[in-house]
Chains A and B, each alone.
Chain A
Amino acid sequence: MPGDIEIAVPERTVAKSGIAGVRSLLAARDAAFWPALREATHSARDFSEVLSLATMRKKALRAGIPVEIDRTIRLAIVGGSSLYPLNELVEQMIGAASTTGWWQAEIFKGDFDNYISEILDPESELYAFRPDVLFLIPSSQRCVYQGALTDAREQQHAAAIGTADDLLALAATAHDRTGAEIIVANYLPAPDFDPGPYRVRSLGTDWSFRKMVNLELGLRVPSYVHICDAEFLATQRGVTNCYDARAWFETKQLYAPDFAVDIAREVATIVRSLHKASKKVLALDLDNTLWGGVIGDDGMTGIEIGGTHARGEAFKQFQLAIAQLAKRGVVLAVCSKNDYKNAAEPFEKHPEMVLRLTDIASFQANWEPKSENLKRIADELNLGLDSIVFVDDNPAEIEIVNQFVPQIETILLGPDPAQYAAQLLNCRHFEPRSITSDDLQRGEQYQQQAARAQAMGSSGTDMASYLASLDMHAVLSEFTPVDVPRISQLINKSNQFNVTTRRRSEAEVEALIADPAHYAYSVRLADRFGDNGLISVVIVAVEGATATVDTWLMSCRVLKRQMEDEVVNEMVRLAALRGADEIIGHYLPTEKNSMVRDLFPRMGFSQVEENPERTTWRLDVNTFTPRPTHIQIDRRAYEN
């Protein structure tokens, strides 16, 4: 059967997993200890398991098993409960957020129920610690409606808003004093039956009031606040399992031991999302993934999708889940061992299919290895391999992708198609920190790119007339608060067209808006095929007569469109306005940014210095002639 070609599965390098495996690697002082520790930490579900892994980590460090500490996070935890041993769990979970090494979390623990004064007192130890991230776990005792259950609903609602605002005011104070990103745990659902079903009939009951406060909190957060959604996590685990009265009385633990693991994992996930972008592409197998059966054998009438069969319904539900992600900006691709004609037919003609050919940005159906086809998908979409998540029901295909393109995350479906949708929606690879309107249009944008590629291919004319035919319009703007989420998204995920690869948090980006020592602007580009959205970001530091390019990045979607030329024109214009007479640019090489190695010389900069860490380039502002392009500039930065 075409869908079940025999594949020689390469041997796994990490043969053992689980606690026992990690333990034997520790005993053997094997360097494979660290990848195994990361994997075991990711999958650990109970408190004792995580603590045991943390103990192994400490022993491994003492024994000198080598590991690369690829990031250090200064995290302060403050709250209305004892923060020990939660800190140990958080430290272990953050460590495992590294892809290839270990992240070191340096943790400050606030005193029991002292968070308000720790945050309000500018001289507190919290501020002396200088955290990058603050995790705030407020006290449930402060989330109680003080009036009567029968008070007017408006009054109860106003009290809930007040409680949420008080918490956000604390977050704002801490953020203003440290610049730290703030993670706030919201309130746990009330676990007890009392006062019975009446609980939902008044906002004044603990059950309703906490839910309302949590809602208002989430709806009101500024960009530097991230909610650790304890309410959701507790609901998922079962609320009564999240409390442990004995642990509260004995050691002032807010969370039951195993639930503390959920919280620690969530904090680590948030910390990780501050530094790593979520995935962009979902690459899908077809046979027994998008539909039941094998299209090449069973044909259009034989495959199971939708209709009146239970199995067909399950596959349809999976497609609906995929469509839901696509609607939010996840780009879809197909990677299947099939003849193209067979593979495409259900997308074109099957009435029960949810996904259509126009939903698929890159369609690879052939008999090449899937690892090769995934590389092709990355090339076609102009994205890195590490932005792809690959889904297949065949363990051998998953294994081969893990082995040959380890940058790609994989999801092995199965064995029951009823679980496919839930598997995808719980994979946690596609969680946006914030959703921008650009994200909502992304699928369209990639299809437009395909249309542009076709326009170029079919016209066969020269580059200049192609560019002229695109009818491009750009808007250049100084950074604005509303653009901050998209700008930081680009700063934290662009790897290829990025001369310095400097990352910044949303809070740091926001700070640049009013920073007199920098000018910073973003670029939006539209053309006759559609709006590309915000696609380029530039940050320049000005000191005396010298302007230095701190950050210059661009989405690869708009490569070869002369956008970089217009970016330089603007860079020079603003440098002159700020009184600079030279612009200095540095290219800091990474594994991924070789495409901009020659960007500065291409734009007329001349070389000043070269060494392995960086090359340095200079442009004379006074003798610069604006570079001609086919882009119409509708607005320039810092102009009203």
Chain B
Amino acid sequence: MTQTEILAKMQPVFDDVFLDDVKVTPELSANDVEEWDSLLQISLVLGVEKAFGVRFRVGEVEATKNLGEFADLIQRRMAETAKA
């Protein structure tokens, strides 16, 4: 899956969590969306893990700066899952 494909697959997760139009782009981060608090962050991570069938390791989601980096992280974890 390319970054673009991953971002596209993230969109429904965002729709479910925000219940509002939040357009998923590589540059987007929590600072850009007023409602995006730590509560919704938890929901987003859980939703993404479910949607992509991955499990992130401690501290690594926090370390991503925007959705582009987050998508890359998803890609790495997916590649691992595929190998296993």
Contacts and interface: CB of A to CB of B under 8 A. Distances in A.
A84 B38 contact: yes
Given A246-B57, A246-B58, A250-B58, A47 B16 contact: no
Contacts of B57: 246
Which secondary structure dominates chain A's binding surface? Answer: helix
Interface residues of B, number: 17
A257 B19 contact: no
A257 B57 CA distance: 16
A254 to B, nearest CB: 14
Nearest to B57: A246
Contacts of A84: 38-39
Interface residues on A, range: 10 to 19
Contacts, number: 45
A250 B59 CA distance: 6
A85 B19 contact: no
Contacts of A478: none
Contact of B42 (A26, A55, A56, A85): A85
Contact of A257 (B16, B17, B42, B62): B42
Interface string B1-33: 000000000000000111100000000000000
Contacts of B42: 47, 51, 85, 251, 257
B39 A47 contact: no
Which secondary structure dominates chain B's binding surface? Answer: helix
Contact of B19 (A56, A246, A250): A56
Nearest to A47: B46
A48 interface: yes
Interface string A248-263: 0111000001000000
Given A23-B19, A55-B19, A246-B58, A48 B43 contact: yes
24 contacts: A26-B19, A47-B42, A48-B17, A48-B43, A48-B46, A48-B47, A51-B39, A51-B42, A51-B43, A52-B17, A52-B19, A55-B17, A55-B19, A55-B40, A59-B19, A84-B38, A85-B42, A246-B56, A246-B58, A249-B58, A249-B59, A251-B38, A257-B42, A257-B46
Given A26-B19, A88-B39, 18 more contacts: A47-B42, A48-B16, A48-B46, A51-B17, A51-B42, A52-B16, A52-B19, A52-B43, A55-B18, A59-B19, A84-B39, A85-B42, A246-B57, A249-B58, A251-B38, A251-B42, A257-B42, A257-B46
Interface of B: 16-19, 38-40, 42-43, 46-47, 50, 56-59, 62
Sort A-B residue pairs by CB-CB distance and give the 5 closest, nearest first. A246-B58, A51-B43, A85-B39, A249-B58, A48-B43
